[in-house]
């Protein structure tokens, strides 16, 4: 089908949430402003997640999946989604559905002017410890990248595919998507979106990897910023 928008859904051991993911994404696709499909990226799940996304994809042509041989992490899953998507616009949402697929329409209003539109969980429904660790991590990252983003970890984004596919792979990528678009001289914006408590499954990030990971990854970003190759072709023969 002539899809224009692919929603990447990374997942690792999320069997309790996948029925709701199918229901909510199907509901959104029926009212979406452009033709939309979903791409599950199974990050080496050890529960029944792979079996469930196979079933979903077999009964609904708007859903596809890819599956890793082993667990590689969220950044690898997002990057694989970028690589396998074949639409001009690519979205991203977590399989825990703490953000609402309907809010893609909120972000969609800005994508003509910007190259990445990211949600901002203004009224975040997480624990105090989780909120504070994310606040500190975002502050550390922002001081290195100067990307102006208050909530770069928000799992609701739309990005132009030509920018997404030029992002190099490294661990911690998901924390630096706005900064990587800015390295390509693209335009980014954050927009308030709704946020909900997790009602099933287990969170994959904790206090330690929310703080130490972003701090270490910032130095990798600085190295990449210094050595990043950015070019724009202005002419070619056919």
The 3-class SS string of 142-167 reads: HHHHCCCCCCCCCCEEEEEHHHHCCC
- What per-residue confidence (pLDDT) applies to 169? 76
Q: Is 5-227 CATH 3.90.550.10?
A: yes
Q: In what order do the strands lie in the sheet with 156-160?
A: 63-67, 36-42, 5-11, 89-93, 156-160, 116-121, 188-193
Q: Which residue has the tokens 């609904």?
A: 60
218: helix, coil or strand? helix
- Give backbone dihedrals phi and psi of 121, rounded to 5 degrees, phi first: -80, 85
Report d(CA 180, CA 199) in Å as an integer: 32
> Domain spans of the chain?
5-227
- What per-residue confidence (pLDDT) applies to 133? 59
Report d(CA 189, CA 120) in Å as an integer: 10
Q: Which residue has the higher pLDDT, 223 or 64?
A: 64
| pLDDT, tens digit (0-9, with 9 covering 90-100), for 92-128 | 999 999 999 999 999 999 999 999 999 988 776 655 5
Query: If you average pLDDT over each of 119-123, 141-145, 146-150, which comes out highest?
Result: 119-123
Report d(CA 195, CA 214) in Å as an integer: 22
- What per-residue confidence (pLDDT) applies to 232? 74
The answer to whether the CB of 67 falls within 8 A of the CB of 166 is no
Using CB atoms within 10 A of its CB, is residue 227 exposed (0-12), middle (13-18) or buried (19+)? exposed
The region of weakest confidence among 14-18, 96-100, 194-198, 214-218 is 214-218
For a pLDDT cut of 70, what percent of the chain falls above it? 82
């Amino acid at each position: 089908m002539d899809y224009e928008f692919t929603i990447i859904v990374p997942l690792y051991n999320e069997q309790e949430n996948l029925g709701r993911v199918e229901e909510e994404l199907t509901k959104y696709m029926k009212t979406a402003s452009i033709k939309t499909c979903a791409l599950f990226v199974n990050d080496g799940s050890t529960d029944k997640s792979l079996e469930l996304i196979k079933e979903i994809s077999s009964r609904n042509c708007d859903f596809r999946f890819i599956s890793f041989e082993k667990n590689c992490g969220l950044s690898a899953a997002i990057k694989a989604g970028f690589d396998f998507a074949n639409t001009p616009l690519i979205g991203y949402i977590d399989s825990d559905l703490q953000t609402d697929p309907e809010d893609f329409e909120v972000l969609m209003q800005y994508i003509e002017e910007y190259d990445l539109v990211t949600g901002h969980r203004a009224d975040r429904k997480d624990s105090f410890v989780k909120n504070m660790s994310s606040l500190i991590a975002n502050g550390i990252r922002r001081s290195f990248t100067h990307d102006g983003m208050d909530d770069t970890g928000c799992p609701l984004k739309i990005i132009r595919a030509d920018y997404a596919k030029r992002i190099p792979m490294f661990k911690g990528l998901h924390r630096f998507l706005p900064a990587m678009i800015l390295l390509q001289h693209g335009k980014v914006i954050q927009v308030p979106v709704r946020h909900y408590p997790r009602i099933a499954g287990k969170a994959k990030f904790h206090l330690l990897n929310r703080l130490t990971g972003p701090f270490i990854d910032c130095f990798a970003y600085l190295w990449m910023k210094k050595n990043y190759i950015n070019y724009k072709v202005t002419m070619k023969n056919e």
